[in-house]
A = this chain, B = another copy of it.
Amino acid sequence: MTNVTENITCPVKRIECIPPEKIYSKGTIFPLEVGMKRVKLSKTYFCNGQEFSSLPLYDTGGPYSDPSVSIDPEKGLPPIRKSWGFQRDEKAASSITQMHFARKGIITPEMEYVSIRENQQLEEWISSFSRGGAKVSPITPEFVRQEIAEGRAIIPANINHPELEPMIIGRKFRVKINANIGNSALGSSIEEEVEKAVWSCRWGADTVMDLSTGANIHQTREWILRNSPVPIGTVPMYQALEKAGGKAEALTWELYRDTLIEQAEQGVDYFTIHAGILLEHLPFAEKRLTGIVSRGGSIMAKWCKYHKEENFLYTRFEEICKILQRYDIAVSLGDALRPGSIIDANDEAQFGELKVLGELTKVAWKYEVQVMIEGPGHVPLHMIRENMDKELAYCHEAPFYTLGPLITDIAAGYDHINSAIGGALIASFGCSMLCYVTPKEHLGLPDRNDVREGVIAHKVAAHGADLAKGNPVSWLQDELMSRARYSFAWEDQFNLSLDPEKIRAVHAQSMAARGHTEKNPHFCTMCGPDFCSMKKSKEAAEQE
C-alpha cells in the first residue's frame, strides 16, 4: 500500500500533497489518457461474484494527485487537450462547440474522455449491476454525444483552456459539485485564491467558480486558469462592474462585451449570465421579504431601473451567444431572482424568471451554445421538488445547477450542512450540479478549511443522490466500504472515504487518546472491544 502518511511537498507554494496511486485509462478513439485515483485494498473483497483488490475512483485532482508530475505554477499545467489531434477548424468551420459536433453526429475527444471518466474502469461491474430496478449500461461516447445534442448535458470546455480535464454535467451522469472562490474588496490575495482553487479540486470539486470582485481580477483568473484541471466559471458582470467604477448605472453593453471577450480569451469555461431578469419581474421582487440576493441580479436590477431600459444581457443575448460560440463557452443562465429566504421560495418572481431562462435556452441552442440553468437558493424541504419539475419543464431539460437549496434561513455558521440537505434532495430528483456553500456563507469569505468543509459536505450530498439514482459505481464504493468496516480493515475504510486524510488523523487521535497503539484493532474504536456490535455480530454468526 502506498505510504500515505509520508507527505511530499507539492510544487505549488505552500500546498502539501499526499501521494495517491494515480492511473490512466487510454482512449480508443482518441489518444487520451484519463486520470483516476486507484485505491489499493488490503485484501480481496467479493461483490456480486466479482473480485476487488483495488478500486479506481473518479478524480478531480488532475496532475495534483499524481506525484510523478512536476508542477510549476508559473508555467501552469500541461496543455493536454492540445495533443488530442482533433482539428476543430478543419472538421467544422461553421462552429466548434460540443453541441455543434454532437448534433452533427461527431464524437469529440472531450466526449470520449468523459465517458471513460464516468465509468471508472468498472464496465464489467456496471453491466452486472441490477440493484433497485432498471439495468444500466456503461456510458459510451455515443451516449454522451446524444445527451449533448439534446441539450441534456454539457461539457464546459473553452478552446483556450487546454489544461482542462473534461467533465460532463447532466442528470444521467454523476452529480457534480462546484466550489466558489474569489477575493472581494474585503481582501484575500492571489496566492490564497489559487491555493483554494487547487485544494478545491483536490478535495473533489468538479468545477470552480472564480467570483473575484476585488483587486487584480484579471491576474487572479489567469493564474487560476493556467493551474486548473477543472472547468472554471465566472460571472463576467463582476469584472465589468469594477471597470465601471463599482457603479451599476455606469455599465454599458460595450464594456460588458469587452469583458466577455477578455475572459473568453483567457479560457473561462462557463459564464454565469443574468439575462433572465426583466423589468416586468422587478415589482414582484420588490414585494419580497429579501428582494434580490443574487449579486449579478441586483446589479442588473439597479441598471434597469436607473436607465428605465430592459436588461441588456437579455436584449443582447444573441450577440452574447455569438461570442460564446466562438470559444465553446457554456452559458450558465443565472437565477437573479432566486429566493434569499424560505418565505420567498417558489414565488412569481422566481418562476417568472425561470420561464425566461427557458426561452433563452432555445436562443443559445440556436447558436449551438451549451446551456445550464442556475437554481435556488433558500427553499424549504417540501417545496424543493417543484423547483426540479419546473426547471425540466420550462428549460427543456437543460442541466440544473443549484446553490443548495438551503432549507432554512437560521443556520448561519452551519450553512454548508443546511445546503447539503437541500442539495442531496434536489440532486436525487435530477439536479446535475450542486454549488457548494461553506460554513462562512452569510458571514464572510471562506478560508482553506471552510473550502474543505464545504466541498466534502456537498460530496456527501452528491454521492447520496448518486446512490438514490442507482449509480452502480457509487453503490460499489459503499459496498466495499462496508465490507472493509465489517472486517475492521481500517486502512481500506480510510481510503474509501470522502476525506481519507482527515479521518485517518481523527482515528489515530482517538486511539492514542485512549492509550491504544494497534494500527488495525479488531473492534470499533467508538465502543471498545466488549461493546463492538460488529465483533459480537460476527461471533454470533460463527457460533452454532
Contact = CB atoms under 8 A, between A and B. Distances in A.
Interface string A192-226: 00000000000000000000011000000000000
A486 B291 contact: yes
Chain A binding surface SS class: helix
Contacts of A297: 533, 537
Interface stretch (A115-123, A158-166, A406-414): A406-414
A510 B342 CA distance: 26
Most chain B beta-carbon contacts within 10 A, residue among A132, A185, A409, A463: A409
Interface string A224-241: 000000000000001001
A499 B414 contact: yes
Interface stretch (A8-16, A149-157, A355-363, A523-531): A523-531
Nearest to A341: B482
A525 B443 contact: yes
Nearest to A384: B468
Nearest to A512: B444
Specify how many copies of this chain sit in the oligomer.
2
A544 to B, nearest CB: 8
Contacts of A286: 541
A496 B412 CA distance: 10
A292 B533 contact: yes
B407 A457 contact: no
A522 to B, nearest CB: 14
A534 interface: yes
Interface string A170-187: 000000000000001111
Given A460-B421, A464-B418, A541-B286, A298 B503 contact: no
A382 interface: yes
A340 interface: yes
A489 interface: no
A321 to B, nearest CB: 26
A196 to B, nearest CB: 15
Contacts of A499: 413-414
A130 interface: no
Contacts of A290: 482, 485-486, 534, 537
A71 interface: no
Pairs of residues from A and B, 4 with the lowest C-beta to C-beta distance, nearest first: A444-B510, A341-B482, A298-B536, A185-B528
18 contacts: A186-B514, A246-B530, A289-B479, A289-B483, A290-B482, A292-B540, A298-B537, A298-B540, A340-B486, A341-B486, A342-B475, A381-B468, A412-B498, A413-B499, A417-B420, A417-B460, A442-B485, A443-B526
Interface of A: 131-132, 184-187, 213-214, 238, 241, 246, 248, 282, 285-286, 289-295, 297-299, 301-302, 304-306, 340-343, 378, 380-382, 407-414, 416-418, 420-422, 424-425, 428, 439-445, 456-457, 460-461, 463-465, 467-469, 475, 477-479, 481-483, 485-486, 493-494, 496-499, 502-503, 506-507, 509-511, 513-516, 524-541, 543-544
